[in-house]
Amino acid sequence: MPEKETGKGAEDLFTARITVTRDSFDALLKKFDLDVGCRPHIHANADGTGTLTAFATQERIRELEAAGYIVEVGENASELGRRRQEEVGKGDRFEGGRVVPRGLGEKTDDRGQGGSAQ
């Protein structure tokens, strides 16, 4: 059995493209707890199979491969998320309400209802 990974990134989620058939798709979702986003999306392949995109740990990817699934591993989605978080500003960009937000948004009242432009 492969050595279990530990430390930072051991539980990171990777983009995994899993080749499935009509029959293996149901079995896959019943047997494995996979993050498929809002709902499973399968891209049809020319050979009649499909490719399901999911997010999985390296350990889960090994389990899928051991069960006979063909898995193409993509980017480390967790690491990408951490890098993107570094781009997010820190602090209060509206300075406690003293700076008016700008952009395409719509001003709403306290209940989140759109205000009328009078």
Number of domains in the chain: 1
Residue 40 lies in a domain: yes
Cβ pair 25, 73 in contact under 8 A: no
Residue 55 lies in a domain: yes
pLDDT per residue as tens digits for the range 59-70 = 999 999 999 999
Q: CATH number for the domain including 29?
A: 3.30.70
Mean pLDDT to the nearest integer, 28-55 = 95
Residue 100 lies in a domain: no
pLDDT per residue as tens digits for the range 100-111 = 888 888 877 766
Res. 118: pLDDT tops 70? no
Residue 65 lies in a domain: yes
Residue 114 lies in a domain: no
Instruction: Please give the mean pLDDT across all residues of the chain.
Output: 86
Residue 18 structural domain: 14-85
The pTM of the whole model exceeds 0.75: no
Q: Give CA torsion, residues 33, 43, 76, 78, to 10 deg.
A: -60
Q: Where are the beta strands (DSSP E) in 25-103?
A: 42-44, 50-56, 70-76
Mean pLDDT to the nearest integer, 77-86 = 92
DSSP state of 62: H
Residue 105 lies in a domain: no
97 burial via Cβ count (<10 Å: 0-12, 13-18, 19+): exposed
